[in-house]
Structure 1
């Protein structure tokens, strides 16, 4: 932990703005952050992801895999304005990181590239922004590698956005390469320089017609929400430049348009123009505060308001709560309130990548890390005075799509593993842990292979745990197809009082879903009343492991006869008699295996629906139908019934068939008989032998 203590500089005119860098995996978000930090003088030299020397992707797991697996934060000053940038992972498996961060940002820069295969992934990002009403601008990265007109690229990307993507620039081409750009609002041409700001040049004659057409298209989009501008265009009157800029700012901030900039983060091209747009057009923190506290008089009246966007457990500094100050100031040692409870700030820090620097105080608009805020979770709202428990959560928690059974390799580490898993879930709300009562397994659930792998790497690296994992066992059950009548006798003599219990049971199948039913038809006291409950206990215990080795369900057991000994009979003896009867009778009842069937709803791009149907069928699924996904242009939802045994790695195939964006939800529907080769294979996998 760095020892430097400082206060935030509040001498500039406006509060700091907070900008998220989001976009599909591999689009260049971390590189863009690096270019911004280099351009603003925050770092001396621009690093690269390949070299592993960027401010972002600083964790061991991110470095090892060459990809963002958590958010990274960095501040930069540009022309007197201060910005906090949050670099968010682009992989669909780590989008929960973005979801949390969006709770504290003023605008999102969506980093994309000329790759139509990533358009569905771009739509996932834009949908999340639209759902949260986050203003957004698009930075079309890697313009140096594009060989298509920018307007052609936008035709591919536009279906991913519910609002128009509006070009703010057009490229200047030379020999098929983008050597500069023309600003459509200012009508000025610039030429790129390697990792340096561009310089203004005279616009070439051959570019003027292109500029005029592109500018008119931009103005038409703006005029859709401005009658004065529309009137000027219809009357062929040149609109006032101040009006154009006012419309650009207003329509961006209201989410009516998605302005498009472009450049090359790797070469540092287009960075200064993007920063200038952010400086003039990003809304202040009051917009976020107004939306968050709308209608809440308690929170709105507090002198200090913070929104927690991320929870981190550091190896040496303990728990940190990354929070945006929406109002007021906060200092180390302050007392804040969450859901009416007091929490004390035990350390105040600013983060640059993974490196914290100690602060004395911070003010409105700042993004800070609060030390050891016990009981505070991602999504909570903290206030300086007791408020009505404000908490809007971290957004929609994405349902898990892959699971693994996890255990400590050494029994002595079981408690430590439980504690570490709790911390991982606090950091990442899309991870969950469940204990399966039937199989006795602890199940770790997440968003995919890499998501679970990173979690396991953190357990090993951060917490020093040696863990073992395996594919979770399927909770098969069994039932019976026929009935029988069986006697169970438990008799034992070993000196003194013996043990004697004698019962006759009728075992019969029940309709699916009826569970286990126990009854008795004892007459004449052949089994004394006080022992009937013990017989029931024995029956239920024996049914936990039937003839095939699995819990038995949908069966009725009726105690119809028996005998007792006035001295040797006891509760334990009759319990054992019930166990004996069940174990001897079940093999004669034509036992059959039952497997759990789930209802699965798969979301996928429409052009992949046929592939998804084939995948479902190959996994013994029964397709119930498919339809257009509500609110998602170009997407379908496939509904099917599928055995749980086939769902285990379904997500791997889905993502392979959908360029990484397919997802599903599953919920238990019913138990179904399993016979033949499939049943034999299930028994073998479970280490059982068919009777």
Structure 2
């Protein structure tokens, strides 16, 4: 290792603003927009007038529900900020954004309850290799010392948190900050630029100690700096800045800046750190594996369907340039033509003639283009740079339009919403006929339904999806089924003897025949099986029948009146009469569930599972996740519907689970009666 002077970099940059729910991300963006002159004044989130939370759903719930993009000019450079939702239910919004960003600003506060949520965010940034700055917000409300706060937050981060500033206090109140690199004090003025000041004498010792600690951490990656510290030489300030910049860019450290976004405090120092120290698009292109050359390479970060302007693909230009009317390749055979290039400021757009490497813009009307795709001007396209993998859904609604005439309209609207939010899953349940929408929590799906009803003007009915109950039998029987009808001309005649018996759980259905002597002609044996299978769609309890075998052992036919339909009817009659004697019983699906939870909440989780008729199989440390456990259990599918709500309530909003089908189990007693009564009532309706 040697000196790591990396130079100061400027140019168009893209910055993701991330952090736990209610940490102040939207407030920080609003403060940045006001400080850079992009908006005339900073609006509080409570006003409902922030640039970021501009959608009706965000205003209604007073929370960010989608990533919002805003580009500003700062000291001659273009900076694009993407405010990402903090709720875990909308976390997937950030995945496509983060991959193409140069740096992330992680907004955090001294709240122990939010450490697991912070850890989730840091983990995602680690996976993507995105450099980050931690902005310690609400510093004026923090009773603990800043270094104690860092000790609290450090477990959430694999890389060391490097204190770049310390609070400047007066009478136990934070009145500003001391920059440890510049060795300068800044006295904050609300919603205005800070006043530069000398470091007060009574703060000097604290500043020297904190600065030395910062330099020690930087020296871990710079032999020359280490020698200077050992020889008690003061390192040149430029070298210190170069080390700070280099360590930020390669992820060796996470610089920590402090402030109070609500008052605009600390924002200017954050902006200057981003401008001077954060990596640029060249580093991001290299991280993503953009091939060398002059071709334009574009990464799609977000899809928006506007009310009047059509589809917009918010995109990062990673190399080359894109002009209005450019043709971009989606694949080896598909192309799309750019129809409009726009600079974004929340819901507002300003048209541009072209965009160059580093710019983050919205490209108009790229039909067939999806969030996460990589586009290029090079003929034939390139391999995707980003792979988006939505987490398994944990909550579902069955939905239908209140008016049948809106069914086609609803389907098209949901497709557009799924383009905007690829973490939504829509499927049609063949058994129940339901349209089931799945996502990452109750609020996630509630917002989706609100968009269907508001943005698309489609009134929707929602309810919990049906559970795929089945029924089976406990004992066997031999039953004759005879269908005989004479009504002039050819009649109908079919006669079968069926041996019905149970099979082990999970065996499904098995049909055989032991017909001898042609008592049932071969051409009708298939008809018998068809009739049985038709009956099994709804057994004596009203549910599909599984795990049984039926053997056709005897029967008779009529040379003139027997037919395919007559033997199908005879089989159904035999099944209906025989099944009622076979002790039918209800089966419910049991799921294998893996619940990821902070260790401190594991006891709560192991208490929740039995209350939902579940069985704990065990729990262990979550591999690679300090302070987390994985609880394994089995749970009836009927108990999983709203499980995520209780899990997140017990874990400050961060628990998640994966569920897979395990087996079918008998359901008896009062619960079985309730299921059968509900099914009978539904059919009657």
Question: TM-score under structure 2 normalisation?
Answer: 0.96
Question: The residue matched to 1:686 in structure 2 has which SS?
Answer: helix
The alpha carbon displacement at 1:387 in A equals: 4.0
**Separation in structure 2 between the aligned mates of residue 536 and residue 144 of structure 1, nearest angstrom:** 77
Q: 1:374 aligns with which of 346, 367, 372?
A: 367
Alignment of 1:310 onto 2:306: no
Report Cα offsets for 1:36-77 as digits up to 9, x if no partner. Answer: 111111111111211111111011111111111011111111
The alpha carbon displacement at 1:388 in A equals: 4.8
Question: 2:135 maps to what in 1?
Answer: 139
**Separation in structure 1 between the aligned mates of residue 156 and residue 71 of structure 2, nearest angstrom:** 30
Question: The residue matched to 2:46 in structure 1 has which SS?
Answer: coil
Alignment of 1:199 onto 2:195: yes
Question: 1:637 maps to what in 2?
Answer: 630
Question: 1:102 maps to what in 2?
Answer: 98
Question: 2:437 maps to what in 1?
Answer: 444
* Cα distance change on mapping 1:302 and 1:644 into 2, 3 Å: farther
**Separation in structure 2 between the aligned mates of residue 395 and residue 635 of structure 1, nearest angstrom:** 24
Question: The residue matched to 2:261 in structure 1 has which SS?
Answer: coil
Question: 1:43 maps to what in 2?
Answer: 39
Question: 1:121 maps to what in 2?
Answer: 117
Alignment of 1:54 onto 2:46: no
Question: 1:278 maps to what in 2?
Answer: 274
**Separation in structure 1 between the aligned mates of residue 631 and residue 664 of structure 2, nearest angstrom:** 21
* Cα distance change on mapping 1:259 and 1:403 into 2, 3 Å: same
Q: Which moved more, 1:276-285 or 1:672-681?
A: 672-681
**Separation in structure 2 between the aligned mates of residue 307 and residue 508 of structure 1, nearest angstrom:** 59
Alignment of 1:411 onto 2:407: no
**Separation in structure 2 between the aligned mates of residue 184 and residue 175 of structure 1, nearest angstrom:** 22
Residues 15 and 364 in structure 1, CA contact (< 8 A), matched pair in contact too? no
The alpha carbon displacement at 1:622 in A equals: 1.3
Residues 549 and 688 in structure 1, CA contact (< 8 A), matched pair in contact too? no
Alignment of 1:325 onto 2:317: yes
Alignment of 1:681 onto 2:677: no
What pairs with 1:159-308 in structure 2 (closer than 5 Å)? 159-293=155-289, 299-308=291-300
The alpha carbon displacement at 1:239 in A equals: 1.6
The alpha carbon displacement at 1:686 in A equals: 3.2
Question: 1:582 maps to what in 2?
Answer: 575
Question: The residue matched to 1:50 in structure 2 has which SS?
Answer: helix
Alignment of 1:523 onto 2:516: yes
Q: 2:588 aligns with which of 575, 595, 615?
A: 595
Question: 1:433 maps to what in 2?
Answer: 426
Residues 104 and 324 in structure 1, CA contact (< 8 A), matched pair in contact too? yes
The alpha carbon displacement at 1:524 in A equals: 1.0
Question: 2:76 maps to what in 1?
Answer: 80
Length, aligned pairs only: 674
**Separation in structure 2 between the aligned mates of residue 369 and residue 548 of structure 1, nearest angstrom:** 56
Residues 99 and 394 in structure 1, CA contact (< 8 A), matched pair in contact too? no
Question: The residue matched to 1:300 in structure 2 has which SS?
Answer: coil
Q: Which moved more, 1:253-262 or 1:406-415?
A: 406-415
The alpha carbon displacement at 1:392 in A equals: 3.9
**Separation in structure 1 between the aligned mates of residue 601 and residue 476 of structure 2, nearest angstrom:** 48
Residues 302 and 383 in structure 1, CA contact (< 8 A), matched pair in contact too? no
Structure 1 segments unaligned to the other structure (5+ residues): 1-12
Residues 103 and 394 in structure 1, CA contact (< 8 A), matched pair in contact too? no
Question: The residue matched to 1:536 in structure 2 has which SS?
Answer: helix
Question: 2:6 maps to what in 1?
Answer: none
The alpha carbon displacement at 1:191 in A equals: 0.4
Question: 2:11 maps to what in 1?
Answer: 15
Q: 1:391 aligns with which of 371, 380, 384?
A: 384
Question: The residue matched to 1:588 in structure 2 has which SS?
Answer: coil
**Separation in structure 1 between the aligned mates of residue 359 and residue 660 of structure 2, nearest angstrom:** 42
**Separation in structure 2 between the aligned mates of residue 302 and residue 375 of structure 1, nearest angstrom:** 25
Residues 527 and 564 in structure 2, CA contact (< 8 A), matched pair in contact too? yes
Question: 1:614 maps to what in 2?
Answer: 607
The alpha carbon displacement at 1:282 in A equals: 1.1
Alignment of 1:65 onto 2:61: yes
The alpha carbon displacement at 1:534 in A equals: 0.7
**Separation in structure 1 between the aligned mates of residue 235 and residue 326 of structure 2, nearest angstrom:** 52
Alignment of 1:559 onto 2:555: no
Q: Which moved more, 1:530-539 or 1:410-419?
A: 410-419
The alpha carbon displacement at 1:293 in A equals: 2.3
The alpha carbon displacement at 1:682 in A equals: 2.8
What pairs with 1:487-502 in structure 2 (closer than 5 Å)? 487-502=480-495
**Separation in structure 1 between the aligned mates of residue 240 and residue 424 of structure 2, nearest angstrom:** 46
The alpha carbon displacement at 1:291 in A equals: 1.9
Residues 10 and 275 in structure 2, CA contact (< 8 A), matched pair in contact too? no
Question: TM-score under structure 1 normalisation?
Answer: 0.96
Q: Which moved more, 1:408-417 or 1:207-216?
A: 408-417
Residues 120 and 605 in structure 1, CA contact (< 8 A), matched pair in contact too? yes
The alpha carbon displacement at 1:393 in A equals: 4.1
Q: 1:339 aligns with which of 312, 331, 334?
A: 331
The alpha carbon displacement at 1:688 in A equals: 6.4
The alpha carbon displacement at 1:407 in A equals: 1.0
**Separation in structure 1 between the aligned mates of residue 385 and residue 508 of structure 2, nearest angstrom:** 40
Task: Give me the CA root mean square deviation.
Answer: 1.5
The alpha carbon displacement at 1:363 in A equals: 1.2
The alpha carbon displacement at 1:135 in A equals: 0.3
Question: 1:402 maps to what in 2?
Answer: 395
The alpha carbon displacement at 1:676 in A equals: 2.3
**Separation in structure 2 between the aligned mates of residue 302 and residue 594 of structure 1, nearest angstrom:** 62
Question: The residue matched to 2:487 in structure 1 has which SS?
Answer: coil
Question: 1:513 maps to what in 2?
Answer: 506
Residues 538 and 575 in structure 1, CA contact (< 8 A), matched pair in contact too? yes
The alpha carbon displacement at 1:623 in A equals: 1.1
Residues 302 and 384 in structure 1, CA contact (< 8 A), matched pair in contact too? no
The alpha carbon displacement at 1:302 in A equals: 5.0
